[in-house]
A = this chain, B = another copy of it.
């Protein structure tokens, strides 16, 4: 029957099925957003099963034989445009991967993630990793099982890395970090030997409401569309999308450090601009989705670091900060502010780390996950391993689990293999930003007047509009003229810190 149908009809029917799946997935995303922002305490248990049911239904719909038949027919058709073709090819890949999971495994994973998320909250409250160890163990077991389901050639962790960055392997990431470790370490040693930056003025009391308003103001300046999104408070900042016209961000506020809130707003804002820029008409299809985790991260890092920690941005932002916090900041100069915002200091919390030491945080997590997946580490080893590596790599003493291995939400979400994309994202960010600077004459002037229109148009054209049309590597090649090259990143940091730590 299917063979005699017109390609147009087949494509419409494929699109309809995909949009139905998207409706279910994004409904689940609304439930998750609510869970992390407004859900009353006692509602948690049932919310867990509601999310699990939606996951199971989405999985059922996405592994339906009818969809498979449709895809296998469509992929052979030639009278289909280029973008349509790419949608079909990518969906078929996803379909074949998804078919590997049984519905019961999907439900078990979803329920276990939910449990683990709640014990993580509990563990943080009690400042004790032990509180979550049992549930995390069960989750790691499921992830090990998943590596077998997905299959891998050399290392079980490859199966999970590949989930977040297509084609990514332990061999590749090992090489990347091995190459980077020495130059970063040298740079860090050099910085530590110089006179240190004074950022004491950042650590005063900054009123919660004023911080909240400031965050909204900066998102607005960046071009984030509040008619297609909103900001709320959550335990851990995140961006979540229900379609390109409803992309929400969250933040958290520490009254003793407004920079934590503000640069997290800029970071999430970068993610959100990407999602708001994805083609609306491709809702539910691969071209309506972001390219990859690393390219997503490149968008947040580009804003957070290349823009947000630049001389020009800091200079333009300071007068606005002084409006909100005159008492605390009136005597601060542009230069002092810029230096303080770029202060390098080995520290405990990944999300608050400077651009340099950040990657040591990632390397530690990467090694740890690798060990958990190949069985050379078990969950009960985590705190000791963590603390030892922090001392070894960053020369800091971890005082407790909350400031140590309990700081990230990722494991409680089952996201093993995610962390390396943060480093990849930082490297892509710098390389893409170099291209933007070449393409947009006077971009620095735009930044110093907080005018981001031309940059947004460039990002729309080079990144947002494509969805998953190109892979990370293809996108990078096409718009920077060469493959990912971490020497851009080393060069960028060296230049920056040579000026700050003369």
> A-side interface residues toward B, CB under 8 Å?
19-20, 23-24, 26-28, 30-31, 34, 38-43, 45-47, 49-50, 52-54, 57, 225-230, 232, 242-243, 245-246, 248, 283
A28 to B227, CA, bound (A): 22
Q: How far is the CB of A15 from chain B (nearest CB, A)?
A: 13
Point out the residue from B34, B47, B226, B242 that lies within 8 Å of A47, measured CB to CB.
Answer: B242
A interface secondary structure, majority: helix
Given contacts A39-B246, A42-B225, contact A23 B283 (CB under 8 A): no
Given contacts A30-B31, A31-B30, A34-B34, contact A245 B24 (CB under 8 A): no
Task: List 19 A-B pairs, Cβ < 8 Å.
Answer: A23-B52, A24-B57, A27-B28, A27-B30, A27-B50, A27-B54, A30-B30, A30-B34, A34-B34, A39-B246, A40-B226, A40-B227, A40-B246, A42-B225, A42-B227, A42-B246, A43-B245, A46-B283, A57-B57
Point out the residue from B34, B41, B242 that lies within 8 Å of A46, measured CB to CB.
Answer: B242
Most buried by B among A28, A39, A242: A242
Q: B43 touching A246 by the CB < 8 A rule?
A: yes
Query: Which of chain B's residues has its CB closest to A53's CB?
Result: B23
A350 to B43, CA, bound (A): 33
Q: How far is the CB of A268 from chain B (nearest CB, A)?
A: 15
Q: B47 touching A246 by the CB < 8 A rule?
A: yes
Residues of chain B within 8 A of A53, CB atoms compared: 20, 23-24, 27
Residues of chain B within 8 A of A229, CB atoms compared: 40, 43
* Nearest 5 Cβ contacts at the A-B interface: A43-B246, A23-B53, A42-B245, A46-B243, A42-B228
Q: A40 touching B243 by the CB < 8 A rule?
A: no
Residues of chain B within 8 A of A245, CB atoms compared: 40, 42-43, 45-46
A227 to B45, CA, bound (A): 13
